[in-house]
Amino acid sequence: MVRKIALEEHFLSPGLVDYWRPTMTEVAPERGEYFFRNLTDFGELRLQSMDDAGIARSVLSIAGPGVQTERDVATATRRARESNDFLAREIEKRPDRYSGFAHLAMQDARSAADELERCIRELNFCGAMINGHTHGQYLDDAAFNTFWERADELGAAIYLHPADPVAQPSVLSGYKVLMRPMWGWGFETGSHALRLVVGGHFDRFPRSRLMLGHLGETLPFLLWRFDSRAQFHGLKLKKPPSEYIRENVLVTTSGMCSAEPFTCTLAALGQDRVMFGADHPFESAPEAGEFLDQVPLADELRADVAFNNAVKHLGLPNA
């Protein structure tokens, strides 16, 4: 069993439960209490799951949507700060096992930048997780330039996590099973990331580091086509789209325990761009751990995906 650092290890803080329950009631009502119990546990349940998967350290992040659905900006800002303080206190109890991603109220870009800086400098978090758009405003919007400037200054990685789209595509109408985890969330999140690519975000902020779960939300499988169609449409960027994805995007294995897309992603992005993720408790951490332990892979590459790449890119302890 290889030693692992796990990303997309989710939790809930007391003040954010009401934002989470409506989504979970719709997605998996029969498993809501199971998820709630595991999301709010920082002791035996979580640590046992980690041990069973060979996870030495978990980078904890809020189970979405969090405060980004809040309409009152002051309330969102306050609750995000409270959630980050709550997480910091839990990490203090087990600093050998837990690290954290900041939760941010993106309704106010400057306040979000300030909170990101506080979380990095004072709480020793290793980046932030943002749950998709905020009331229809995507991260390529110029209103977020202040936030991205600060993230670049801090060298902070930003994990883009799925969220519901502003409106469900009509092609999914009548097929509720397709609307969220099975297909809709990946389509929404991959499209969000592509807005940053084709909108010139990485020309404006070349040091930006965007993280995507689920082996990159299908982006690594379409690099050639992105470049081909960008050229066809005369897209004016400093580099082909594939180069931004290879240079500015990091991906995790969360929710993808399958050898074929895993090996494709490694080949497309490179062995130092892929990290282990478990998506606990929405997926089985032991299953994810067993997959990485057993998928055919050179030992050095397995260790990089499991542990070393997270240390390198997130500045985590190498122990």
SS3 106: coil
- Radius of gyration over every alpha carbon of the chain, rounded to an integer in angstroms: 18
Our answer to whether residue 279 is catalytic in this structure is yes
Q: Tell me whether the omega of the peptide bond preceding residue 169 falls within 30 degrees of 0, making it cis.
A: no
The closest of 194, 117, 110, 121 to 151, measured between CA atoms, is 117
State how far the Cα of 241 lies from the Cα of 208, in Å rounded to an integer.
15
DSSP for 224-264 reads: HHHHHHHHHTT---SS-HHHHHHHHEEEE-TT---HHHHHH
- CA–CA dist 191, 186 (Å, integer): 8
Question: Which position among 18, 279, 293, 304 bears the catalytic label?
Answer: 279
User: What whole-number distance in Å separates Cα of residue 59 and Cα of residue 129?
Assistant: 11
Active site residues: 279
